[in-house]
Amino acid sequence: MKKAGKTKRREKLKVGRTKGEDMSENVFERKSGMILALDVTDEASALEVAAAVGDLVDAVKIGYPLVLGTGLSVVSKLAKYAPVIADFKVADIPNTNRLICEHVFKAGCAAVIVQGFTGPDSLAECVKTANEYGGKVFAVAEMSHPGGDHFFDDRVSKEIAALAKKSGAFGIVAPATRPDRVKELRAVIGGELKIISPGVGSQGGSAADTIKAGADWVIAGRSIYNAKDPRGEAQKIKTEIEKLI
């Protein structure tokens, strides 16, 4: 009985993934060009923000702050509002990467963010696991914070972007704080791979400049979830980019 109940709930929510299942309906597509970074640390706040802006964004990105605060069960609750991207920046040996990605997709995430600097075999294992569950992989090519280009310099970022393409990743993460780098990385990957760009708002990046530089989605967190009116803030970003996409 218990098992049947669980299965029924999963079908209704279309979230918990199993190997080989067709999850095409649950994959995010570009409509607004916006992804919400939801780094609040308790479930009630997370669901409140998701309910307020879920229909304005194409996905909700969560990471260690929320998942360590609530557990992975928050994924199925958030997935009612928008597809969920797990920003775990997975960076381990292939076997450990596979184990992490399996948890991510079984929990119902549509995509996972991984590090590319661990090398081709580690990245390939994430892509393979994602494919088994109908999920997607984004590889971090360059980070958005001021120190983000210290080790991820021009050569390294471009090599990681090229590796992401070769490995069959769905896309890369590139910094909205450096639109020139987004443009250069777009030139490396061509039109096939997607670019998601964090750093809009609180980190100083402009949504319009980032999209103009070649990003498919901008990511904003604090500027939305810390605002008095999160929906109003999300709407502002949406309006800023809607003519560009």
Residue 84 touches ligand NUP, criterion: CB under 6 A: no
Of 34, 143, 163, 218, the one binding ligand NUP by CB under 6 A? 143
Q: Where does this chain touch ligand NUP (CB under 6 A) — which range of 6-14, 120-128, 197-205, 230-238?
A: 197-205
Which has the closest alpha carbon to 89: 23, 184, 172?
172
Contact 210, 182 (CB under 8 A): yes
Contact 39, 66 (CB under 8 A): yes
**Which residues, listed in sequence order, are joined to residue 61 by a DSSP beta bridge?**
37, 85
* CA distance to 2, 17, 61, 67, 185, per residue, from 87 (Å): 31, 17, 6, 10, 20
Residue 201 touches ligand NUP, criterion: CB under 6 A: yes
Q: Under rule CB under 6 A, which residues in 212-231 are in contact with ligand NUP?
A: 219-223
Nearer to ligand NUP by C-beta: 16 or 110? 110
Of 33, 94, 116, 199, the one binding ligand NUP by CB under 6 A? 199
Residue 144 touches ligand NUP, criterion: CB under 6 A: yes
Helix 230-242 to helix 43-53 angle, to the nearest 10 degrees? 40
Name the site residues for ligand NUP (rule: CB under 6 A). 37, 39, 63, 87, 113, 140, 143-144, 148, 173, 175, 198-199, 201-203, 219-223
